[in-house]
Structure 1
């Protein structure tokens, strides 16, 4: 670390290199924090979580009980041990609560005054955070599996919605109506995701084993259909032409720069694609256990070198190196299957929710030198919840030296 600081002070090194190195160290030292609890409010599994991109302070969660909770992640107690309190709840006593399982929750990307939820009760609701009442309700004919607002859009305010119907719905926040339908899938659409690089590019994943990429400005069909065999028909059976997986595709996630797209399927595989060409990069992540019949929420780190993927794997969260596919560590702490995880880019922390009704906080371990600078009363972090691949620890140590 001293080498990084000296080189930066002398102007010999890019200032971003120190930031990337420290971000990488923090991700490699993630562990379950005994000093950080999250209020347990849900009476059933936690299906989805989201951290606001404006302040990085508030977290949303949606559960199989239909309940939506807003948590404050900031610690104002002045003590190292604290609980992330539930500041607002849309509970079963509210007449506006979803009747069935909440599948997706998302903050409005530019303001914490609004968030969106979708549910198996065939509705998607746009909420006013102040009143905890829906400002708009979109009703559908089928269960809603997933929705997503673009994190960068300036020229449109569309919400993409995936339902049991193979048609993808595009809903306009400004007009409060469904304005367009994208047709091409042959089974329920389990996941939808806007590109963080191009505001008109949308990726969709379906139970028909296919992943399609759309330009919503075009009236015709999709611009890409991802093929796991990269067009080599000799490797594909007649039924498996232009399929991304050999089972239901239930997870989508763009990398932070939007240059790559990750997909997960019930064939226990995760694949990394070039989002511009649709090429399968053939990164081998090994077996990635996936028993979910619905959307699986996984996430990618930001600001690290290399970047890492956090994906639910049974009752654990598996951490992989993005471009090599190497398993870095397994984060164990849940008592039942994990359904969702979200990376906090400001602090390199991870939050995960599962069928055990818990939301767990995974926080970087402070090194000995850092601990000595803290108050003597501060308890040390617990170690042993995760074992990091020695190759990555050695790489960090050599960089630091």
Structure 2
């Protein structure tokens, strides 16, 4: 660490390099923290998690019981052992509670005073955090599988919504109405995600095995339909032309820079795509167990070099190196299948929720004597221990 500080002060190293290396080191040391508990409020499985980016303090969860909970992640106890308390709950006693399973929750990107939830009760609700009452309710013809607000939009306030009807609905927060429909899928839309790089670019995943990329400024058709075979028709059957997976595609996630898109499907595969060209990068992650018929929420790290992806895999969370496909470790602690996980970029922590009704916190377990940095060469990291906690050498990733 002192070597990085010296090199940075002398102008010999990239100012962001120390931050990237330390972030990577923290991610590689993630462990289930016995001193960190999260209040157990949900009476049924947890489907969705979101952590707000304004303060990085509040976490939203939605469950199969229709309940929505807001947690405070801040430690005010003054001791290492503490419990993240539920500060607000939209429970079964509330007249505004969702009648069926909550599939997606998301904070408004610019203000914690508002959040959005969607449910199998065919509604999407825009909530006032202060009153815990919906300021707006959108009703749809079928179950709502997923919704997403752009994290960077300045010129629009659209919420993309994927439902059982094979059309993507675009709802405007300003007018409180549905203003547009994107048509092209032939089965239910299981996941939608806005690009973190371009505010008008949207990706959608469907049970028809296809992933489409849209420019919402052009209404005619999608920009791209991702093809796992990269246009090689000799490798694809006539029924499988331009399919991203050989099964339902139920997970989407852009990388932090928006240059790549990750998808997961019920064919037990995860694929990495160039989001600009739609090219399958052919990274082999091996078998990624995926039995979910609904949306699967997975997450990519931010600020690491290289980046890592955390994806639910049965009752474990699998951690992969994003660009090589190497399985780094399996985080085990849940008693039943995991449906969602969310990465906290400020502290390099991971939160996961599953059908066991538990939310687990995975935090860095740092051992400062383990890593010794050479002051003459800021890009060399030597380990006194031959192996890290994940069973892999840390310098395989820190470079």
Match of 2:72 in 1: 72
Give the root-mean-square deviation of aligned CA atoms.
3.7
Q: What SS does the aligned partner of 2:8 have?
A: helix
Return the TM-score normalized by structure 1.
0.92
Deviation at 1:3, TM superposition (A): 2.3
Structure 2 distance, partners of 1:293, 1:53, is 29
Q: Kindly provide the CA deviation profile for residues 102-125 of structure 1, in whole angstroms up to 9, marking residues without a partner as x.
A: 000000000000000000000000
Q: For the Cα contact (< 8 Å) 2:120–2:144, is it kept in 1?
A: yes
Q: Kindly provide the CA deviation profile for residues 184-209 of structure 1, in whole angstroms up to 9, marking residues without a partner as x.
A: 00000000000000000000000000
C-alpha change, 1:75 and 1:233, in structure 2 (3 Å) is same
Deviation at 1:317, TM superposition (A): 0.2
C-alpha change, 1:137 and 1:304, in structure 2 (3 Å) is same
C-alpha change, 1:40 and 1:13, in structure 2 (3 Å) is same
Q: Kindly provide the CA deviation profile for residues 257-303 of structure 1, in whole angstroms up to 9, marking residues without a partner as x.
A: 00000000000000000000000000000000000000000000000
C-alpha change, 1:92 and 1:142, in structure 2 (3 Å) is same
Deviation at 1:369, TM superposition (A): 4.7
C-alpha change, 1:242 and 1:373, in structure 2 (3 Å) is closer
C-alpha change, 1:368 and 1:167, in structure 2 (3 Å) is same
Deviation at 1:7, TM superposition (A): 1.1
Deviation at 1:232, TM superposition (A): 0.2
Deviation at 1:368, TM superposition (A): 4.4
Q: What SS does the aligned partner of 1:15 have?
A: coil
Q: What SS does the aligned partner of 1:80 have?
A: coil
Deviation at 1:39, TM superposition (A): 0.3
Structure 1 distance, partners of 2:370, 2:152, is 36
Deviation at 1:10, TM superposition (A): 1.5
* Contiguous gaps of at least 5 residues in structure 1: 379-400
Match of 1:375 in 2: 375
Q: For the Cα contact (< 8 Å) 2:2–2:373, is it kept in 1?
A: no
Q: What SS does the aligned partner of 1:4 have?
A: helix
Structure 1 distance, partners of 2:309, 2:300, is 5
Structure 2 distance, partners of 1:34, 1:49, is 21
Instruction: Count the aligned residue pairs.
Output: 379
C-alpha change, 1:25 and 1:371, in structure 2 (3 Å) is closer
Match of 2:383 in 1: none
* Contiguous gaps of at least 5 residues in structure 2: 379-398
Deviation at 1:9, TM superposition (A): 2.0
Q: For the Cα contact (< 8 Å) 2:192–2:202, is it kept in 1?
A: yes
Deviation at 1:2, TM superposition (A): 2.9
Return the TM-score normalized by structure 2.
0.92
Structure 2 distance, partners of 1:75, 1:371, is 28
Deviation at 1:76, TM superposition (A): 1.0
Deviation at 1:223, TM superposition (A): 0.5
Q: What SS does the aligned partner of 2:372 have?
A: helix
Q: What SS does the aligned partner of 1:89 have?
A: strand
Structure 1 distance, partners of 2:50, 2:137, is 20
Deviation at 1:4, TM superposition (A): 1.5
Please identify runs of 4+ aligned residues in structure 1 that moved more than 3 A.
368-378
C-alpha change, 1:284 and 1:375, in structure 2 (3 Å) is closer
Q: Kindly provide the CA deviation profile for residues 221-272 of structure 1, in whole angstroms up to 9, marking residues without a partner as x.
A: 0000000000000000000000000000000000000000000000000000
Q: What SS does the aligned partner of 1:25 have?
A: helix
Q: What SS does the aligned partner of 1:191 have?
A: strand
C-alpha change, 1:376 and 1:91, in structure 2 (3 Å) is farther
Q: What SS does the aligned partner of 2:23 have?
A: helix
Q: Kindly provide the CA deviation profile for residues 168-190 of structure 1, in whole angstroms up to 9, marking residues without a partner as x.
A: 00000000000000000000000
Deviation at 1:8, TM superposition (A): 1.2
C-alpha change, 1:373 and 1:211, in structure 2 (3 Å) is closer
Structure 1 distance, partners of 2:328, 2:377, is 32
